[in-house]
């Protein structure tokens, strides 16, 4: 049974997939310790492993479904992912840990990949850089 609002032509179990795979980045203990060291307010709570759930990044489609191909893409993008994760917590780059390679990256982040990504939304995918206005979700 299709949920209300889905296109009539899409059969159950046939959601549109997009030509991307996804890597899920979860902070490890080293990241959490760094984040807690960046606290600027005395009464700011310390974060623990259950407080930071991680982020998902779309990357090139994994054509073979192999772990080696996933590792290749993580090794290709680890620096950009690390920069994004550190910037999200603290904008002062001088405070960021120095990561020289993917092994350093893996001390701060756990990563896991998924081969298939399905688009469940009815509206078009829009990049944030397109500067399109977002709906006001605060009314709920």
Does residue 76 belong to any structural domain of this protein?
A: yes
Residue 88 domain flag: yes
Q: What is the largest CA-CA distance in the chain?
A: 56
For position 81, what pLDDT does the model report?
97
List the chain residues with pLDDT less than 50: 1-3, 5, 8-9, 140
Tell me what pLDDT residue 9 has: 44
Q: How many domains does the chain have?
A: 1
Any domain includes 57: yes
55 beta partners: 25
What integer pLDDT is reported at residue 101 of this predicted model?
A: 98
45 within some domain? yes
The verdict on residue 77 lying in a domain is yes
How confident is the model at residue 1, as a pLDDT?
Answer: 41
Strands (E), 7-136: 20-27, 55-60, 109-114
Does residue 85 lie within any of the structural domains? yes
For residue 32, give the nearest of 16, 8, 52 by alpha carbon: 52
- Per-residue confidence (pLDDT) for residue 15, from 0 to 100: 76
Q: What's the half-sphere exposure (Cβ side, CA atoms, 13 Å) at 30?
A: 15
pLDDT of amino acid 44: 59
Give the per-residue pLDDT at 80: 97
Would 68 be classed as within a structural domain?
Answer: yes
> pTM score, two decimals?
0.74
Give pLDDT, residue 120. Answer: 84
97 within domain boundaries? yes
* Domain that includes residue 110, residue range: 20-122
């Amino acid at each position: 049974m299709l949920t209300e609002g889905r296109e009539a032509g899409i059969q159950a179990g046939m959601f549109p997939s997009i030509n991307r795979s996804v890597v899920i980045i979860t902070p490890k203990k080293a990241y959490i310790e760094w984040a807690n060291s960046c606290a600027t307010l005395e009464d700011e709570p310390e974060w623990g492993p259950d407080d930071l759930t991680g982020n998902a990044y779309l990357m090139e489609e994994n054509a073979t479904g192999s772990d080696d191909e996933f590792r290749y893409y993580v090794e290709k993008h680890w620096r950009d992912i690390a920069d994004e994760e550190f910037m999200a917590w603290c904008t002062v780059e001088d405070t960021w840990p120095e990561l020289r390679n993917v092994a350093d990256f893996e001390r701060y982040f756990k990563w896991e990949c998924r081969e298939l990504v399905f688009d469940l939304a009815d509206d078009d995918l829009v990049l944030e850089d397109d500067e399109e206005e977002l709906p006001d979700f605060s009314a709920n």
